[in-house]
Structure 1
């Protein structure tokens, strides 16, 4: 049996199946997508083909690049099931009906190779039922792989194996799902709903019941059981609108029919006449006419909320939710708040945490699996046991006991202890055996958070820190809000360069945070603009240029490892790195024109250098300049790392890591691979088109202006950008040095910051998070 997966087959081209196929293609692996033959029409592959066509149009996009779609081969299960013989993994994602799944497995058994994994994406049917009647060989190759929707963006994958599942087959699937598809694998037991949906459905049902019983508004309920509780800010009703209200009765029916009769879910499972009526009338949430919330188009898209008592809609209000410590993550303060806030918080939180605690070891082997499942599957900021640690296990147990509720065994085991602790620089969890055990990371997983537990920073200030991540590699971490960049970051970079040169081998720029960097600290910049501190602003621009060029020409390799948002100055530091190891979900770009400015930390020259070196770029100065002008003037941001390569923010040889947890390790390995024989790059010299090129770019921008796609002030900003990219007054035969281009960039930037309309754009961005179209 091969230990690698080189081709995959997905059967079922619905939303989930198609999305899973897209993520396999995003990993660069060929995938066959099959569905039934449609009843009407002559195209027997129409369903699978239609699914791919739809995915190329929708947002958020299932494909990371349009080229990934070329790896999807479409067909139907009547004519093309024999293609299964070419595949190493078959993923079944058909309708949740046992008879249909079993019928498909009988056909698969006749065509699959021995050792080819077969998995079901079911979230409701036990594995034992799925393989009933199948051969021993089929059972050895079978497991459940429960993906979450949308498969590209949701990191959780619950894997369930049976008593007959071959460990090697399961390991092959897990390795591929982890490394190639970017999934965090959580091992679940073969119990109804597995982990995340079982707890999540219980939590949602508790929240809905309590709001109805207490006569709360949906707005207040969501304000209490939302951000303050460390769960998505949508709250419970907003979340149900998002996933679809019509999904809830199906989940309820599945769990009530499969859970043991003594499970607490039976006591809270209810049908609500109002919810049944909403579904019947098409109010199924965001995908329908609306749900618990709706946008009233007749009233200018006014946001409205439903009254749970009357079923009538009213203008949504911002209620007086939790205040003080209760609003800032103090769960005990939240649970003890006076009035409806405390009562509702406790009803939802107390019940959910008690339920989760009772599922070890029946649904999951340990507390870590449950916490990971809820953080990754439902976007909770802390898992149930991490929440219990904040609340206090003893406090939760005593309060449950006082109410006559059963106290789960795990809470008794914990007593006055916490479920997690730090011991000798390692994170440990409490097992059902009453002992603490190390949280073990998979090989190739490296987290900065773990390094911080056992070490102190080499350098640190208010906005950045430098860490030793082992093997002679140091990590530069941004630490400000949204990892915004300011003078402190630049100072630390300047301090770090001689230290790394003297004592270490390489430097990686990385953060565990969701976003790499939102760019320059606009709040600080606006303060400077408002008090006309032009000298300080120019010093910040010059300091950034100096720091970034310092990294570029340092006597050691610099590798940037971005994930999430990396825009403006955050993008410019990538451009100055020797190499980039990016997370697949990278949203990067030079967005300064959107706030009335231009890139000021050397990004213009670095983009020009990349564009002129691109193999697909025609010869001569103008094509490269025009390409950079188009990208930067429109503040275009990549929607993936693959797209960032197409846009030249990443080089063809830069690496992409699919699993977020592996990014630091991969970047460190890339940095070490560059150490031997490393020499800094030579400073580039440019042949730029001069005033004629500036005129040509102006004409292109004018075309956008006439079509209403560019505002009057966009024309001013784009002309300033064109002046820099064309080399100012330089003649086409002149050579423009990197330093001359930096000087031109700095001078042009400073002209724009004096403009009131640029200041207005910065203010608007800070206030609304959206660009001002002035």
Structure 2
């Protein structure tokens, strides 16, 4: 067995999953060969693979993180190009779920692959032992299952199944690649039907559907009770089925019933409803079809009404908002939810009781530990908590008592934990309850550093209502935003002002990082609106000046500052990144200056920082206008990069900035980057600009005027763009004069205050707060 690293990958099968896996490999900067069949009678023998790439370039949400990634995909077909597998270090099979076709492909692969090349199947239904039946010992040593989840770019879970003959080094090589390069969280699964997530998830969906029909619960009631209160995505069950496709349900059912033992609890609940069969037959397969359990009805006046399927009559009616769940049950107290009187508690228990018991019953058959089940459901189905974490929420002893009262078999691990918990904190370490009856530390992989672990044994160095400062070791501190959506306010700026001298005196570097879903959605608009309503203009201007001062304090601090964004980094969240020495971004970072959408302009230094980036680009045409025009275009249209790769194209990130594929590795990578900058660090020099002044602003305004006349911009868009143009062109200056950073900051403050007093901007802010949607006025 070779110890070669994975430098090139082949994916066979250009369907939704195979093409998506190939795209994610390319997103990692690794060349990938994508092969599929030769279409019958086709003149282009590579049409299937080429068509898949072309489709992905138009798909939203995008499988590719940027157009550069697509260029790393080489297309071909199985008949003409299978010999190219010899140059690949890992082959992923993602073809139709038929054993005979897979085995035929493996026989061909064995003849062309280089010994030591890993071969894996993306199957979610066929046991590994059957897949490799008839193959050589060498092939079996290099074979494993790598079960990705759809869509491969966005779903973090990958289940890996190794057979008894699988070479440990080969498995480790693939595991490391999918972790570090593809950004996936690996869960080890046993070679059992459905593995982990789909086995539990399919049971959960089936149980929820059955109970709704049996109890006369409407789809809206089921999704309200079984959605957010259970820690399930807001789609609930029926909304989820619409999303994945109602026609997928029979296939999942057939797959599991044909492979699970006859006495498995799923066999007892697996059944189809005549209404669902009729919906599939009539093309009502969910969002991809004519509609599903929900649909949108369009009236003659263009208005749209959300409709819901009545499970009794089979007809559509206007969707209702039941409003059944309140109090602690609505806030995630599962014991309160299943104990609620009437249909809420009855339905919640009928879903959670059997589902959580089933999840407990598959340990260790499907995976060795309770953490495997919990990780799989959180990462594969986006549950807020895994089944065993949910049982801890309810109380294991109480849960068992309810199961016994209903005659539901109690799995051995539930009996073993007794009145204890599946998770506990011991000596600052999170531990899980094992099948051996003992507790074991949850160990993080090398290169994973999480703030949640640090918080178990440490107190913050500084803290207020919106931010905190943590010692993350080796002389590095982390600045964490803690408000709702990590919104930024004067408390954040106050803590930055306190942090800079503390870090300068006692530490080496600072990382701006948090473990929220989003790095920061920008300034706290709610506080801003409150100030506007009482005409507290001085307070608003104080906030703008305070933010500028805080961000420039970070920029010119006598130590390195590295921003580590993930998720949304908008407005002020983007600006803190722009003012850092370097950025180590998670690949899924969506970053941009979006203030014009609410009738404002960037006020915390974003304009100057973007001008510097575009002016420093030697590929741009010379002169004052090219950089100004580009920044104006990006900011005036509130452009948001949809990945870290795209952020480099827009210069929210520099080419030298780092990208981390695995979210769990972000803090460690950012910390290492900061430490690497410590020796010989000097703060950046203050930039100077030569800007075109009123003549340049007039040219930009002329372009916006043209857009408005074409109906592509509103009157207030034109007003906001005029203020932005005035700032970016330097105000009353020209290219013979030097514009300083302080000059631009002053122009930002003046422009911001001008717009914030405008009733049309205030209306935009108000609508965004109330509806989350922009106002086009």
> Contact 2:693–2:731 at 8 Å: present in 1 too?
yes
Question: Structure 1 residue 405: deviation in Å?
Answer: 1.7
Does residue 489 of structure 1 match 2:492?
A: yes
Offset, 1:615: 2.4
Is 1:339 equivalent to 2:342 in the alignment? yes
Report 1:236-251 matches (<5 A): 236-251=237-252
1:87 maps to what in 2? 88
Which deviations, in whole Å up to 9, do the C-alpha atoms of 1:61-119 show, x marking residues without a partner? 00000111000000000000001000000000000000000000000000001010000
Number of the residue aligned with 1:648: 651
Residue by residue over 1:638-690, the C-alpha shift from the partner in whole angstroms, topping out at 9 and shown as x without a partner, is: 00000000001000100000000000000000000000000000111110001
Aligned residue runs from structure 1 range 531-546, under 5 A: 531-546=534-549
Deviation at 1:297, TM superposition (A): 3.0
The whole-number CA distance in structure 2 between the counterparts of 1:295 and 1:232 is 20
For the residue of structure 1 that corresponds to 2:279, the secondary structure is: helix
1:693-712 equivalent positions in 2, closer than 5 A: 693-712=696-715
TM-score (norm 1): 0.99
1:60 match: 61
**Counterpart in the other structure of 2:366:** 363
In structure 2, what is the Cα distance between the partners aligned to 1:399 and 1:713? Answer: 60
Aligned counterpart, 1:385 = 388
Other structure's SS at 1:453 match: coil
SS at match of 1:476: strand
SS in 1 for 2:71: helix
Structure 2 equivalent of residue 319 of structure 1 = 322
Is the Cα–Cα contact under 8 Å of residues 141 and 165 in structure 2 kept in the other structure? yes
| Matching residue of 1:268 | 269
Alignment check: 8 A CA contact 2:28 2:181 kept: yes
Aligned to 2:159: 158
1:409 alignment counterpart: 412
Task: From 591, 596, 600, give the equivalent of 1:593.
Answer: 596
Task: Indicate the residue corresponding to 1:447 in structure 2.
Answer: 450
Post-superposition shift, 1:413? 1.3
Does the CA-based 8 Å contact 2:518-2:567 persist in structure 1? yes
1:424 to 415, 421, 427: 427
Q: Distance in 1 between matches of 2:753 and 2:216?
A: 58
Task: Work out whether residues 525 and 769 of structure 2, in 8 Å CA contact, stay in contact via their aligned partners in 1.
Answer: yes
Deviation beyond 4 Å, 4+ runs, structure 1: none
Partner of 2:430: helix, strand, or coil?
Answer: strand
Question: For residues 622 and 731 of structure 1, what CA distance do their matches in structure 2 show?
Answer: 11
Task: List aligned pairs for 1:15-94, cutoff 5 A.
Answer: 15-94=16-95
Please give the per-residue CA displacement for 1:358-406, whole angstroms capped at 9, x wherever unaligned.
Answer: 1111111101111000000000000000000000000111111122221
Q: Which moved more, 1:291-300 or 1:195-204?
A: 291-300
Using the TM superposition, give the Cα deviation of residue 2 of structure 1 relative to its aligned residue in structure 2, in angstroms.
3.4
Q: In the TM superposition, what whole-angstrom CA distance separates every residue of 1:556-609 from its partner, at most 9, and x where no partner exists?
A: 000000000000000000000000000000100000111111100011111111
What runs of 5+ residues in structure 2 fail to find an aligned partner? none
Structure 1: 5+ residue runs without aligned partners? none
Deviations 1:194-218 (Å, cap 9, x if unpaired)? 0000000000000000000011111
CA deviations on 1:464-521 (whole Å, 9 max, x unpaired) are 0000000000000000000000000000000000000000000000001110000000
Q: Secondary structure at the match of 2:76?
A: strand
Corresponding residue number in structure 2 for 1:522: 525
Hey, what's the Cα distance between the residues in 2 that align with 1:652 and 1:707? 36
Q: CA deviation at 1:320?
A: 2.7
Which one of the candidate residues 459, 473, 476 is aligned to 2:479? 476
CA distance in 2, matches of 1:332, 1:465: 32
Q: How many residues align?
A: 774
DSSP 3-state at the match of 1:201: helix
Alpha-carbon shift at residue 301 of structure 1 (Å): 3.0
Task: Give me the whole-angstrom Cα distance separating, in 1, the residues matched to 2:624 and 2:400.
Answer: 72
Superposed CA deviations along residues 589-633 of structure 1, whole A, max 9, x for unmatched, are 000111111100011111111110012211111111111100000
Encode CA deviations 1:278-323: one digit per residue, 9 max, x unaligned: 1000011110011111112357432111111111111110013211
Q: Deviations over 1:116-163 (max 9, x none)?
A: 000000000000110001110000010000000000000000000100
1:287 corresponds in structure 2 to 288
Query: Which residue in the other structure is 1:730 paired with?
Result: 733
Q: Secondary structure at the match of 1:321?
A: coil
Alignment of 1:503-514 (within 5 A): 503-514=506-517
Shift of 1:3: 3.4
Q: 2:465 aligns with which of 458, 462, 465?
A: 462
For 2:668 and 2:324, the matched residues in 1 are separated by 42
| CA RMSD of superposed structures (Å) | 0.7
What per-residue deviation string (whole Å, max 9, x for no partner) do you get for residues 163-219 of structure 1?
000001101111000000000010000000000000000000000000000111111
Question: C-alpha separation between the residues in 2 aligned to 1:456 and 1:190?
Answer: 43
Which residue of the partner structure matches residue 438 of structure 2? 435
Question: Helix, strand or coil: the match of 1:599?
Answer: coil
- Provide the secondary structure at the position in 2 that maps to 1:466: strand
Per-residue CA deviations over 1:14-34 (Å, capped at 9, x if unaligned) read 000000000000000000000
2:20–2:151 contact (8 Å) kept in structure 1: yes
User: How far apart are 1:237 and its partner, in Å?
Assistant: 0.6
Q: Which residue of 1 aligns with 2:192?
A: 191
Would the aligned equivalents of 2:296 and 2:306 in 1 still touch at CA under 8 Å?
yes
Could you say what secondary structure the match of 2:502 adopts? helix
What is the TM-score when the length of structure 2 is the normalising length? 0.99
Within 5 Å, which residues of 2 pair with 1:118-197? Answer: 118-197=119-198
SS at match of 2:238: helix
The answer for the alignment partner of 1:623 in structure 2 is 626
For 2:534 and 2:126, the matched residues in 1 are separated by 65
Matched, 1:306 2:309: yes
